Structure 1
Amino acid sequence: MIIDFHSHVKISKKSRFMPDYFREMMYEAKQNGLTALALTEHFNTIRFFDIYAFLNEQYKYVDGFYDIDGLKLFPGVEVDVQEVGHILLIGDRKEVCSIREQLTDFKEEDRFIAFDLLMDLADQYSLIKIGAHPFRDSTPLARNVSKVQLQRLDALDLNGKDLYAKGVETCQQEVKELADEIGLPVVGGSDTHQFLQYGSIVNEFEYDCSNSNELMQAILQKKYQLKVSDQLALKVKSATIVKKYMKKYMQEVDTVSL
């Protein structure tokens, strides 16, 4: 199984969910060799539940994933915390939607949920808890919460965007050093909003997983390898450029329609 643990299906938080764009993203993910994705859309994106309404209507849910024409799509969400940082939560669709509903009052920047409170909430479910891009300049989770707090996570995210922005060796080293210090595994996520970024970093598992519990066991047992693409810079830069112009175009269209 080849999986990306950090992916989006909307261009931005303010953009609407577009089924045709979703289908294109899934097709291109498979074209890039992926057999599985964790759908970690932002918890405060507009009309978050439109995504799951579409998935429930259009695709079969098997055990712990949506079957997207042969690609496994594991439900998830990306949550901002008060201290400034992002957490990926991955699990069963009912649990992901339930925890998102409980975060309704925490969607605004001045009301983001505290890290410990989010961990308490997530611990009530069977969710994988991943510290997203822990050293990103804009959301440096690792610098804003203590190492004891970080140990409540299940893994850290080696992020495609950060690998590109900081340099592969620098980014890998700082995440690995922290992970070793606090005793957490590292998993990879492209953090893509645009399909050209797929494959920039992947996790090659030794066997298939069908739910978050199986994923967690494979991670803990280190039954996988992280692979960073030789084409990472091209993939991330091209996706960033395309995303920029897609956002601009969509804003212009929305303005005209008003």
Structure 2
Amino acid sequence: MRIDLHTHGKLSKNSDFSVDYFTEMVNEAKASGLEALALTEHFNTRNFYEVYETLDRLYPYNGEYYDADGLRIFPGMEVDIQETGHILLVGQKEHILAVRNGLEQYTAKGSFIPFADLLDMAEAWPLLKIGAHPFRESTPLYQLDRDLLGRLDAFDLNAKDMYQYGIEACRGQVEPFAQSLGKPVTAGSDTHQCLQYGSVFNVLDRPCASVAELKEQILAGTYSIEISNDLPLRVKASVMLKKVMKRLAKLDATRLQKV
């Protein structure tokens, strides 16, 4: 099963969740060969709960994942921590929402939850916990307390970082670091825009019908990571298109204010 473990369903944190936009994302994810993805939208995105309320209307949910016309969408979110860094949480919808409820007082910049407290909260539920882009200059994780890092399940090999720093350079940092903690590495496109799907993904030895099965395979290492030869082109095109779309959205908002 081909799965991307770091994806977003909105153009940006400040944009509204669009059914048309997300439907296009789903179609492109399937066209890129993906069979599943973890939807790890930012926990402090505008109207976070609207994302899952809308998915409930769009697709059937079987208690583990949404069936988006054949694409399995596992619920999740990306959480900022006080020490600087991002943590991906993937699990059943009610568990993700329970953790999100507990983060209500930590959504503003400058008041993010301490890493240890987030781990305590997340460990109350059977969630998959991934350290996102651990060597990204703006949100590094690698320098944090190793005992806390050791409570994560895996670390993210991120398409945006491989584009920015180089594929081999990025792997040369993330893989030895994860190995030093006895943790696996998982692949995530970190896409906010559909062209980035397929740049990097995980190939599981067998399909997963639950997050528990997904976590089991990752911890057992029964999967491989595939990096597309055109990753730099996919990410560059996605970044450029995202900038254009954000500018257009801003222009539309300004025009509407003048009407």
TM class by shorter chain equals over 0.9
Please give the alpha-carbon distance, in whole angstroms, between the structure 1 residues aligned to 2:98 and 2:221: 29
Contact preservation (8 Å) 2:126, 2:212: yes
Mean Cα deviation higher: 52-61 or 130-139: 52-61
Offset of residue 127 of structure 1: 0.6
**Matching residue of 2:115:** 115
| Secondary structure of the corresponding residue to residue 66 of structure 2 | strand
Give aligned-pair identity as a percent.
47
Letter in 2 for 1:26: V
Deviations 1:201-227 (A, max 9, x none): 010011110111110100011111001
| Cα-to-partner distance string for 1:149-187 (whole Å, 9 max, x where unaligned) | 100100000000001111000100110110110100000
Larger deviation, residues 56-65 vs 46-55? 56-65
Q: How many residues are aligned here?
A: 257
SS at match of 2:10: coil
Aligned twin of 1:252: 251
* Offset at residue 103 of structure 1 (A): 0.6
Structure 1 segments unaligned to the other structure (5+ residues): none
Counterpart residue number, 1:153? 152
Q: How many Å apart are 1:255 and its aligned residue? A: 2.0
Q: Given that residues 187 and 200 in structure 2 are in contact (C-alpha distance below 8 angstroms), is that contact kept between their aligned partners in structure 1?
A: yes
TM-score (norm. length: structure 2):
0.98
Paired with 2:13 and 2:136, the residues of 1 have a C-alpha distance of 19
Q: Post-superposition, which runs of at least 4 consecutive aligned residues in structure 1 deviate over 2 A?
A: none
Q: Name 1:170's counterpart in structure 2.
A: 169
Indicate the SS of the match to 2:236.
Answer: helix
Q: Structure 2 CA distance, aligned partners of 1:228 and 1:8?
A: 19
Specify the SS of the correspondent of 1:111: coil
What is the match of residue 66 of structure 2?
Answer: 66
Does 1:49 find its partner at 2:49?
Answer: yes
- The one-letter code sitting in structure 2 at the alignment partner of 1:12 is S
- Taking the aligned partners of 1:11 and 1:93, their CA distance within structure 2 comes to 22
Task: Please tell me the residue identity of whatever aligns with 2:214.
Answer: L
- If the length of structure 1 is used for normalisation, what is the TM-score? 0.98
